[in-house]
């Protein structure tokens, strides 16, 4: 993985001192709350319902055991002994004291971590495929480009006071594990006929109250020109976005209003300006970064067989383990979705267990996923049983990846000051209802995503089953949506009809699932059946 | 206008700035123009040689359009004074300098010690802009 040199380290160290100074000026009254807010947000610090929340960046979802142990330490010392992995591969802490935030940032800087641009109207932490460097289907590791763009977009002087947030994702496979086209700027690494590396560029995606799937604006952009092209996109948006209504300032709105063609034309024109400036990073810098992502020293001649004599282990392997590109190795997914747990939450003790396992069995490499789970990307198949035993002892061995209980849920009204309804208890009730493993496996892939308000942090637009919590005359009400996808077959879920109360939404999900089981054809996932028969075929079952 | 900081050696330009619309109607006369946040500064590009002061308004500090406007003018070769005016806060100054602003007329009182600290906090930068800071990638590769 990437390691800081003296320049990167000096940058995060200076950032800590800057934030300490800004906090001092706030406390002394030189900055009012309105002026301080964007500064703390650019350092990941939100004010929630009960306390400050700190969101720590995990660039492209990759981190190591030392960093994980530091995250555990922060959970113990500054929070309540746990952390929460988010839908953008970051981790956040829910019970932070403002006056301690500079100290936490200083602790993070000692392990090459930060909270820079994890919030506010900035270019956010860049997300990527959680299987990068391990996936059998990738054409190259997307992370060197993500790291190059991390540096290029850190403290960018022209684009630090953007109209709204700006999210970038990078993948390099056909299969999309990163909800690519739900980002403001989505990059897929491809090769052209001459075998050269480049990007398919998509722009204008996003969830929130006005969801859009990103449009392809470039079929092939030579890889070395990506920073010019990105700056062109940002400049068009920065100059022309509305500034009078915060709900209409995301880039997706501008792309929609200008139309794909006109937006592309303006970007291409601005692109020529940036190309002429020569601000792109040279090949030598890409090569320097890529060096850090050379594959670990995989052993050869390892056994492929896995001893499946322990049925609980065999079940975990079937559900959580994915093919690796190196023979004898496997990708092991760690579920953070235990029944009765909170999606994405992990205790400090569990973090230490995962850190130990990464160090011992996975070349010191851990990944966070947008579905709020973790990954050990490089495990010898022969070690899977030992890994599973350790996970099981720590309460981390649930075998529900992509099943109905692997629910994405935002923090909702339990924590968030924007929320209209709780998300966590709904996810828990659905998971309890469907906890029987045979039933879950019979239902198969079914991605439920729950948001506690229209800002859609729980990705309900991309849920095969989406749930949106709203406030209806002072009581929580839940709308049901069907047919969304955050995968390569990206689609936006459609609302089924009137909403439900807390008990009613769980029943409605069950009726939806049972209808699917009645009408599915062999081999069809829920989403396939939905696409074949349409919404109406489910409405009758849902509303009777 | 509460506080002015200037980072140029030449004498301050005294002529009052006129609006961009008025300037474009009768280009040739004035040498100082005021640009509002939504104005298209590219209209000024044919006249940059005759302009000695361009003032870019920051009506609210969160409105970052002026950063792009400034950089566009500098990239087009503008050499005169480029002033950020309005809701200009200390923590914007470093980015403003990098985008080509060389004077600030803030509606707030800014502590000069904090201003200097903010401008000198980062010894390096990750990317090129319109200042002469050398990006880190260039330092790495000599």
Per-residue pLDDT of chain B (142 residues; tens, 9 = 90+): 457 899 999 999 888 999 999 999 998 889 999 999 999 999 999 999 999 999 999 999 999 999 999 999 999 999 999 999 999 999 999 999 999 999 999 999 999 999 999 999 999 999 999 999 999 999 999 8
- What is the spatial distance between Cα A247 and Cα A258, in angstroms, rounded to a whole number? 17
Q: Are the Cβ atoms of A14 and B123 closer than 8 angstroms?
A: yes
Q: For chain A, give the mean pLDDT.
A: 97
Strands B81-86 and B103-106: parallel
State whether A282 and B65 contact (CB < 8 Å): no
Please give the torsion angle defined by the CA atoms of residues A443, A466, A45 and A7, in that order, rounded to the nearest 10 degrees.
60
Q: Which residue of A has its CA nearest to B70?
A: A158
Q: Which pLDDT band holds residue A544 (cuts at 50, 70, 90)?
A: confident
Chain A residue numbers with beta carbons less than 8 Å from the beta carbon of B40 are: 239
Among chain B residues, CA nearest to A286: B137
Per the CB < 8 A criterion, the answer to whether A264 and A229 are in contact is no
Lowest mean pLDDT among A205-209, A375-379, B24-28: B24-28
Whether B91 has its CB under 8 Å from any CB of chain A: the answer is yes
pLDDT confidence of A49, banded at 50, 70, 90?
confident
Q: Which of B97, B126, B138, B142 to mutate to test the interface with A (most CBs of A within 10 A)?
A: B126
Instruction: Note whether A161 contacts B63, CB cutoff 8 Å.
Output: yes
Q: Which of B62, B117, B137 sits opposite A161 (nearest CB)?
A: B62
pLDDT of A403 reads 98
Cβ–Cβ gap B114/A21 under 8 Å = yes
pLDDT (0 to 100) of residue B28? 80
B50 touches chain A (CB under 8 A): no
Mean pLDDT within A500-521: 98
Mean predicted confidence (pLDDT) in A228-251: 96
Q: Is A115's pLDDT higher than 70?
A: yes
A-chain residue closest to B38, CA distance: A239
The Cα of B109 is separated from the nearest Cα of chain A by a number of Å equal to 10
pTM of the predicted structure, to 2 decimals: 0.97
Q: Dump pLDDT digits (tens) for A395-422.
A: 999 999 999 999 999 999 999 999 999 9
Asked if the Cβ–Cβ distance from A159 to B67 is below 8 Å, we say yes
| B71 contacts chain A (CB < 8 A) | yes
Q: Give me the pLDDT at residue B2, please.
A: 59
Rounded-to-integer distance, Cα A88 and Cα A370, Å: 5
The continuous run of DSSP H or E covering A356 comes out as helix A348-361
- Closest residue in A to B88 (Cα) is A35
Chain A residues with CB-CB distance to B90 below 8 A: 25
- Packing angle of the helix pair A536-543, A526-533 (nearest 10 deg): 110
Residue B62 Cα, gap to closest chain A Cα (Å): 6
Two structure tokens written together for B95: 């980015």
Subunit contact A159:B129, Cβ cutoff 8 A? no
Q: What gap in Å lies between CA A495 and CA A502, rounded to an integer?
A: 17
Contact (CB<8Å) B126/A151: yes
- B101 and chain A: CB distance < 8 Å anywhere? no
Q: Which two tokens stand for residue A464?
A: 């095969």
Q: Is the pLDDT of residue A543 over 60?
A: yes
Nearest CB to A7; choose among B67, B89, B124 = B124
Q: Which residues of B touch A273 (CB under 8 A)?
A: 75
Which residue of A159, A163, A281 is in closest CB contact with B137?
A281
* CATH assignment, B4-141: 3.40.50
Give contacts of A243 with chain B, Cβ < 8 Å: 37-38, 63, 65
Using the beta-carbon criterion (under 8 Å), do B121 and A17 form an inter-chain contact? yes
Query: CB contact, 8 Å: A27 with chain B?
Result: no
Chain B hits for A8, CB-CB cut-off 8 Å, are 136
Is the pLDDT assigned to residue A25 strictly greater than 90? yes
B134 touches chain A (CB under 8 A): no
Asked if A340 reaches chain B (Cβ–Cβ under 8 Å), the answer is no
Residue of chain B whose alpha carbon sits nearest to that of A21: B114
Give the lowest-confidence range in A102-116, A256-270, B23-37: B23-37
Contact indicator for B117, A25 with CB cutoff of 8 Å: no
Say whether A225 sits in a helix, a strand or coil.
Answer: helix
Out of B71, B95, B137, closest to residue A285 by CB:
B137
Cβ contacts of A20 on chain B, cutoff 8 Å: none
The gap from C-alpha B130 to its chain's centroid, in whole angstroms, comes to: 11
Tell me how far apart the alpha carbons of residues B86 and A267 are, in angstroms, rounded to a whole number.
Answer: 30
Å from B12 to nearest chain A CA? Answer: 25
Task: Give the nearest partner residue to B65 out of A8, A21, A239, using CB atoms.
Answer: A239
Give me the pLDDT at residue A163, please. Answer: 98
Over residues A471-492, the pLDDT tens digits come to 999 999 999 999 999 999 999 9
The answer, for A503 touching chain B at a CB cutoff of 8 Å, is: no
**A277·B114 Cβ contact <8 A:** no
Within 8 A of B68 by CB-CB distance, chain A residues are 158, 235, 238-239
Distance of CA B54 to the CA centre of its chain: 8
A4 touches chain B (CB under 8 A): no
| Beta strands per DSSP E along A320-373 | 321-323, 329-334, 345-347, 366-368
* pLDDT above 70 (res A82): yes
| Tokens read off for B47 | 């006249």
Average pLDDT over residues A195-222: 97
Of B64, B111, B136, the CB nearest to A238: B64
Who among A5, A25, A238 is closest to B68 (CB)?
Answer: A238
Task: Tell me the residue length of chain A.
Answer: 544
Query: Cα(first)–Cα(last) distance of chain A, in Å?
Result: 54
Statement: residue A79 has pLDDT above 80: yes
**pLDDT > 70: percent of chain A:** 100
Q: CB within 8 A of B35, min separation 6: which ones?
A: B20, B41, B44, B54, B55, B56, B57, B66, B69
Q: How far apart (Å, rounded) are the C-alpha atoms in residues A256 and A241?
A: 11
Q: Of how many residues is chain B composed?
A: 142
Residue in A158, A241, A266 to test binding to B, most B beta-carbons within 10 Å: A158
* A158/B111 touch (CB, cutoff 8 Å), yes or no: no
Q: Residue A508 has which token pair?
A: 């409605």
């Amino acid at each position: 993985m990437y390691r800081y040199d003296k320049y990167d380290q000096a940058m995060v160290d200076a950032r800590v001192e800057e934030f300490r100074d800004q906090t001092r000026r706030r406390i002394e009254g030189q900055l009012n709350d309105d002026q301080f807010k964007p500064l703390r947000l650019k350092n990941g610090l939100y004010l929630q319902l009960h306390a400050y929340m700190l969101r720590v960046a995990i660039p492209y979802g990759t981190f190591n055991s030392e960093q994980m142990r530091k995250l555990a330490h922060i959970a113990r010392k500054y929070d309540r002994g746990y952390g929460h992995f988010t839908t953008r591969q970051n981790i956040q802490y829910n019970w932070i004291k403002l006056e301690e935030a500079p100290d936490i940032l200083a602790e993070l800087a000692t392990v090459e971590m930060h909270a820079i641009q994890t919030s506010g109207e900035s270019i956010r932490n860049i997300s990527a495929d959680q299987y990068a460097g391990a996936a059998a289907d990738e054409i190259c590791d997307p992370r060197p480009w993500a790291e190059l763009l991390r540096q290029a977009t850190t403290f960018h002087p022209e684009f630090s006071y953007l109209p709204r947030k700006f999210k970038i994702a990078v993948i390099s496979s056909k299969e999309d594990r990163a909800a690519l086209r739900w980002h403001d700027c989505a990059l897929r690494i491809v090769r052209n006929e001459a075998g050269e590396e480049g990007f398919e560029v998509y722009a204008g995606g996003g969830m929130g109250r006005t969801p859009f799937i990103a449009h392809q604006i470039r079929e092939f952009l030579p890889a070395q020109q990506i920073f010019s092209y990105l700056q062109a996109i940002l400049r068009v948006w920065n100059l022309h976005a509305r500034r009078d209504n915060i709900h209409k300032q995301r880039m997706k709105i501008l792309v929609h209003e200008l139309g794909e063609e006109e937006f592309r034309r303006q970007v291409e024109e601005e692109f020529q300006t940036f190309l002429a400036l020569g601000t792109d990073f040279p090949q030598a810098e890409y090569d320097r970064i890529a060096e850090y992502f050379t594959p670990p020293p995989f052993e050869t001649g390892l056994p492929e067989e896995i001893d499946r004599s322990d049925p609980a282990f065999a079940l975990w392997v079937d559900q959580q383990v994915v093919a690796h590109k190196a023979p004898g190795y496997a990708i092991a997914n760690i579920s953070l979705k235990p029944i009765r747990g909170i999606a994405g939450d992990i205790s400090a003790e569990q973090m230490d267990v995962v850190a130990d396992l990464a160090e011992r069995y996975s070349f010191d490499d851990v990944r966070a996923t947008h579905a709020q789970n973790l990954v050990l990307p490089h495990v010898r198949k022969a070690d899977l049983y030992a890994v599973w035993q350790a996970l099981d002892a720590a309460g981390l061995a649930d075998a529900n990846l992509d099943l109905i209980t692997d629910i994405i849920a935002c923090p909702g009204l339990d924590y968030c000051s924007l929320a209209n309804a709780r998300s966590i208890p709904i996810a828990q009730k659905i998971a309890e209802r469907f906890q029987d493993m045979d039933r879950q496996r019979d239902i198969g892939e079914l991605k439920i995503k729950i948001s506690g308000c229209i800002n859609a942090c729980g990705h309900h637009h991309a849920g095969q089953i989406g749930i949106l919590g709203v406030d209806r005359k002072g009581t929580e009400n839940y709308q049901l949506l069907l047919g969304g996808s955050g995968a390569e077959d990206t689609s936006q879920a459609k609302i089924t009809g009137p909403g439900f109360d807390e008990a009613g939404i769980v029943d409605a999900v069950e009726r939806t699932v049972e209808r699917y089981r009645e009408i599915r054809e062999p081999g069809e996932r829920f989403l396939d059946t939905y696409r074949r028969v349409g919404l109406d075929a489910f409405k009758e079952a849902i509303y009777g | 206008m509460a506080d002015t900081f200037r980072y140029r050696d030449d004498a301050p330009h005294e002529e009052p700035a006129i609006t961009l619309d008025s300037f474009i109607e009768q280009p040739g006369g004035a040498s100082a123009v005021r640009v509002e946040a939504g104005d298209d500064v590219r209209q000024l590009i044919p006249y940059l040689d005759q302009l000695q002061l361009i003032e870019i308004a920051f009506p609210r500090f969160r409105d970052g359009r002026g950063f792009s406007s400034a950089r566009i003018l500098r990239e087009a070769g503008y050499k005169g004074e480029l002033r950020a005016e309005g809701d200009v806060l200390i923590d914007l100054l470093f980015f403003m300098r990098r985008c080509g602003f060389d004077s600030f007329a803030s509606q707030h009182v800014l502590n000069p010690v904090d201003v200097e600290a903010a401008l000198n906090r980062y010894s390096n930068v990750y990317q090129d802009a319109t200042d002469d800071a050398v990006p880190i990638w260039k330092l790495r590769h000599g």
